[in-house]
Structure 1
Amino acid sequence: MEILIKASQFILSLSLLIVLHELGHFIPAKLFKTRVEKFYLFFDYKFSLFKKKIGETVYGIGWIPLGGYVKISGMIDESMDTDQMKEEPKPWEFRSKPAWQRLIIMLGGVTVNFILGILIYILLMYTYGEKYLPNESVKDGIWAQDELATELGLETGDKILSIDGKSVQKFRELPLEFINGSEYTVERNGENVQKKIPVDFISKLVDRGKSAGAFLLPRYPFIIAEVSQDSINGGADIQPKDIVVGINGTPIKYYDEAKPIIETLKGQDITLTVRRGEETKSIPAKVSKHGNLGVVWSAVSLPDLEKLGYYQLAEKSYSFAEAVPAGTKKAWTTLTNYVKQLKKIVNPSTGAYKGLGGFISIGSIFPSQWSWQTFWSITAFLSIMLGFMNLLPIPALDGGHVVFTLWEMITGKKPSDKFLEYAQVTGFVILVALLLFANGNDIFRAFK
């Protein structure tokens, strides 16, 4: 059922983005009286799931869910219909239109993607506002709970002040800033310490798989989730939801403080001080010879931690007038972060190329439970991403066509049809190679 929910959100989001992107080409083409022969969601090699001709355009749904297209008369595109190009240009054909009109037609898709991303972010800000853990609220520093954090040079208790000289307001944005950054500054024991982010950090992060985001966490209290009856403390008066606040009289605020203390008390009888509701209790307990209590620790949600008084979450609502600049800023930040990640990917030394993913990776970012807020947030991100990717100067993408059109406008020389045919084939080969590599990464990670 979870897979079905994820797949449904992915297909809905992808379909929406493809249709609107192609509509961005379709509308200016029609405005400039250019004939559009096909308008397709997905590709229709050999046959279509659905098609209907209205006027001069065939509207349809293909069976290969790798994108979509509009087939514009007199244009060398993914259809590779070169027979049409051998005839004399017709007034309604793309090649007969002035270069500035062709440029607008080609830029229409990415323009829609960027506008859509901005609009969704604006409406998300207006409808839901924001609720987050401010970085400054993590007053006792982070929990460097695994070796990846240690390899970064982080220590438990570090207060992260800045990454690449920029302070980060929201704690949830720190992992992405580490991915995009090159150095950071923390406050450690009252002193500012500056560290370099290892070049291969992203490679190691990708190798972690699904637990990648867990390298950077706020500090959590020691809350009991479960006590096994056959464990060393199965008969002790320890109950779920108890919060351990002391061990042998030593105050404990966080779980990471308890672990080293317990390990020094292997095989000993101890006294736990726990908070249970409104009362505080002292409970006799034992530490096993392996240095544990035989209990399951619970990591609770941030709202629950706020109720317990550990952190203060920030909550902000926006009027529509306030949401416009806030949503636009969010879209711009999303775009710039994505560009930074692409720069990491093309640098082999970072190992970021291993994180390049295909349809499985994109589908997996959708939640297993339907959430309209999350759905629209991911759709906005994908819209910005799709817009930028289509602007890359690769033949077969919108950006490739834009480059050739700009060259014509600047030099007054139009590339030959034969050159455009070769360029289209070259671009298509590049895209297929990238597609195979990205989806191959998905398959490799699935069986790793």
Structure 2
Amino acid sequence: MDIVIKLSQFLLSLSLLIILHELGHFIPAKLFKTRVEKFYLFFDVKYSLLKKKIGETEYGIGWLPLGGYVKISGMIDESMDKEQMALPPQPWEFRSKPAWQRLIIMLGGVTVNFILAFIIYIGMAFAYGDTYIANADLKDGLLIENKAMNVAGFKTGDKIIAVDGEKIIKFDNDMNMKIIMAKHVLIERNGAEQTITMPIDFVDQLSKQEKGPLVSIRMPFAITSISEGSVNTALQPKDIILSLNGQPTRYYDEVTAVLKKNTNKTIAATVLRNEKEVPLTVKVSKDAKLGIGIGALGIESLEKLGYYKVSKQEFGFFESIPFGVEKGKDQLLGYGKQLKMIFNPETKAYKQVGGFAAIFNIFPNTWSWEVFWNITALLSIMLGVMNLLPIPALDGGHVMFLLYEIISGKKPSDKFLENAQMVGFVLLITLLLFANGNDIYKAIVGK
């Protein structure tokens, strides 16, 4: 059932993005009276799952879910329809339209992608608001267990003050990505500030560790169950350990540190049970365990226990617009930084480029509209940026040649465009094989 939910989200998001992207080309083409021969979700190599011709356009669903397309008459595209291009230009064809109209048609897809992302962020702000913990309220710092972070110089208890000169106001889901993209991180440790310079190959170092957050809020040691055969029967589910061996243990990491120092010993403990402090003793095993199951508390429980104050900002319709636009802008700039890292061999970030399996794995096993829309907005930005790359066969390649024509007044020959399209197609196939090959390699080696 989990895989069905995951797959449903993946296909719904992908279909939505493809259809809207292609509509971005379709609508201006029709406005400029340009014939659109086909409008397809997914590729119809050899045959279609579903098709219907309405007017001059065939609408359909292909069987190969690697994208979608609109086939515009008189345009050198992935169809490589040389027979049509050999005939005299017709008034309804793409090649017969002024360069500025062709430019608008080609920019339509990515324009829709960017607009869609901003609309989603605005809608999410209106529907869900903004929930976060103020960075100033993280008085005991953050939990940092990632080995790559430790090697970079971070320790549990550090407070993140600023990233690349930008002061951190709130702790939210974007914190981890900001650190991944960072060159310098200002932290506070034991009351003193210091700057950590991030390793140039930090992304590559992260890939060699088990998946998990770089930083997270510190949690109490909350017991969920008592293992069968455990000697610590004095403990009960829902207990929270407050102290061990006379040492306050407000957080999980503090409990584990005390346990490691007291293996094979019986020590005093204090737990919070039904809002009361209960003293007892516990036996620590030779491997620093208590024979119990532990779990994370929800944010509401943490707030009730006095660990954190959760802030939630609600937005009216008009208030959600600037917030959503700012969120979209941050995500767009952030993805631009990611691309820059990927194209910099020193970062070795290219090793983490993923294909369809990587995108599929972004989606959770449980259905959440908030998570779904957040991922879809990010993928829409990614699709828009990738399509703008100046590679022939992508929208950005067509835009590059159209800008050359507008500036120089000279139109590249059909033969040149055909050859460029073939080169671009080979590049795209190479990138596709590389990205999906990375997915396969990671699946094999388990990284």
Match of 1:385 among 382, 386, 392: 382
Contact 1:356 1:441 in 2 (8 A): yes
Q: Judge which range, 218-227 or 97-106, deviates more.
A: 218-227
Match of 1:260 among 257, 260, 271: 257
Report the Cα distance in structure 2 between the residues aligned to 1:196 and 1:58, rounded to whole angstroms. 56
User: What amino acid is the match of 1:228?
Assistant: S
Report the Cα distance in structure 2 between the residues aligned to 1:207 and 1:266, rounded to whole angstroms. 30
Per-residue CA distance 1:184-207 (angstroms, 9 max, x = gap): 111111110111111121112123
Aligned-pair identity (%): 57
Q: Is residue 192 from structure 1 mapped to residue 193 from structure 2 by the alignment?
A: yes
Q: Is residue 219 from structure 1 mapped to residue 202 from structure 2 by the alignment?
A: no
Q: Which residue of 2 aligns with 1:445?
A: 442
Contact 1:232 1:287 in 2 (8 A): no
Q: Is residue 370 from structure 1 mapped to residue 367 from structure 2 by the alignment?
A: yes
Q: CA deviation at 1:52?
A: 1.3
User: What amino acid is the match of 1:266?
Assistant: T
Report the Cα distance in structure 1 between the residues aligned to 2:322 and 2:105, rounded to whole angstroms. 28
Q: Which residue of 1 aligns with 2:400?
A: 403
Q: Is residue 321 from structure 1 mapped to residue 318 from structure 2 by the alignment?
A: yes
Where in structure 1 are there 5+ consecutive unaligned residues? none
Q: CA deviation at 1:249?
A: 2.5
Q: Is residue 361 from structure 1 mapped to residue 358 from structure 2 by the alignment?
A: yes
DSSP 3-state at the match of 2:335:
helix
* TM-score, normalised with respect to structure 2: 0.96
Q: CA deviation at 1:226?
A: 2.2
Per-residue CA distance 1:193-235 (angstroms, 9 max, x = gap): 11111112111212335x232x3122111212222232342xx
Matches within 5 A, 1:222-233: 222-233=221-232
Q: CA deviation at 1:371?
A: 1.5
User: What amino acid is the match of 2:154?
Assistant: L
Contact 2:146 2:212 in 1 (8 A): no
Matches within 5 A, 1:54-93: 54-93=54-93
Q: CA deviation at 1:357?
A: 1.0
Q: Which residue of 1 aligns with 2:344?
A: 347
Where in structure 2 are there 5+ consecutive unaligned residues? none
Q: CA deviation at 1:136?
A: 2.2
Q: Which residue of 1 aligns with 2:158?
A: 158
Q: Judge which range, 164-173 or 147-156, deviates more.
A: 164-173
Matches within 5 A, 1:4-15: 4-15=4-15
Cα RMSD (Å) of the superposition? 1.4
Report the Cα distance in structure 2 between the residues aligned to 1:266 and 1:91, rounded to whole angstroms. 84
Report the Cα distance in structure 1 between the residues aligned to 2:212 and 2:424, rounded to whole angstroms. 33
Structure 2 vs 1, CA of residues 298 and 92 (structure 1 numbering), >3 Å: closer, same or farther? same
Contact 1:206 1:212 in 2 (8 A): no
Contact 1:247 1:273 in 2 (8 A): yes
Structure 2 vs 1, CA of residues 289 and 115 (structure 1 numbering), >3 Å: closer, same or farther? closer
Per-residue CA distance 1:48-72 (angstroms, 9 max, x = gap): 1111111111111111111111111
Report the Cα distance in structure 2 between the residues aligned to 1:46 and 1:11, rounded to whole angstroms. 22
Contact 2:148 2:209 in 1 (8 A): no
Report the Cα distance in structure 2 between the residues aligned to 1:444 and 1:169, rounded to whole angstroms. 39
Report the Cα distance in structure 1 between the residues aligned to 2:150 and 2:21, rounded to whole angstroms. 44
DSSP 3-state at the match of 1:357:
coil
Contact 1:133 1:312 in 2 (8 A): yes
Q: CA deviation at 1:423?
A: 0.6
DSSP 3-state at the match of 2:45:
strand
Q: Which residue of 1 aligns with 2:203?
A: 202
Q: CA deviation at 1:285?
A: 2.0
Moved segments of 4+, more than 4 Å: none
Contact 1:90 1:96 in 2 (8 A): yes
DSSP 3-state at the match of 1:262:
helix
Q: Which residue of 2 aligns with 1:174?
A: 175
Matches within 5 A, 1:242-253: 242-253=239-250
Q: CA deviation at 1:439?
A: 1.0
Contact 2:147 2:209 in 1 (8 A): no
Report the Cα distance in structure 2 between the residues aligned to 1:385 and 1:143, rounded to whole angstroms. 30
Report the Cα distance in structure 2 between the residues aligned to 1:74 and 1:289, rounded to whole angstroms. 76
Q: CA deviation at 1:263?
A: 2.4
